[in-house]
Amino acid sequence: MFYGEFYHQLDRKGRLVLPAKIREAAKNNFVDKFFITRGLDKCLFMFSEDEWRNQEQKFKSMPFVKSEARKFNRLYFSGAAEITYDKQGRIIIPQYLKQFAGIKRDIVVIGVSNRIEIWSKDIWLEFYNTSCDAFEEISERLIDNL
């Protein structure tokens, strides 16, 4: 549903304008509400409401008697915020999430099929540059197991 890599900046009021392609995909799939939370690799994960509910069901089923499951769920769900975008496609990312992801002004928004990831530009470029060379090797290991 969500695809692409888009470079943006927060505006003077700290808002992010969602890329037009992301807004178009949301509109075409009747998405008007998102959930955003702490992601992995120092980025933020943003899900449509339907996908958020799917993820929530999976994570709720983890046994709470396991320490790692409790830690993950605490960090993941305590960081979650429900957001909608305005008529200009702007969202407000909560300060604690911007701090978690190291977001100051320059942002990269990427579509990763069922989710949107929001990165600090510097952290994204570091991740991309260190991961890109291993892409073929990783794909061989993962795709062979499908």
* CATH code (residue 77): 3.40.1550.20
Range of the domain at 19: 2-144
- Across the chain, what does the average pLDDT equal? 93
Average pLDDT over residues 27-53: 96
| Number of domains the chain contains | 1
Residue 133: band (very low, low, confident or very high) from pLDDT cuts 50, 70, 90: confident
Weakest-pLDDT range from 11-20, 109-118, 137-146: 137-146
Phi then psi dihedrals of residue 139, to 5 deg: -65, -40
> What separation in angstroms does the CA of 129 have from each of 46, 56, 125, 135?
23, 32, 6, 11
5 vs 132, higher pLDDT? 5
| Alpha carbon separation from 67 to 40, 63, 74, 77, 136 (Å, rounded) | 19, 9, 11, 15, 35
Residues 46-52 have a mean pLDDT of 96
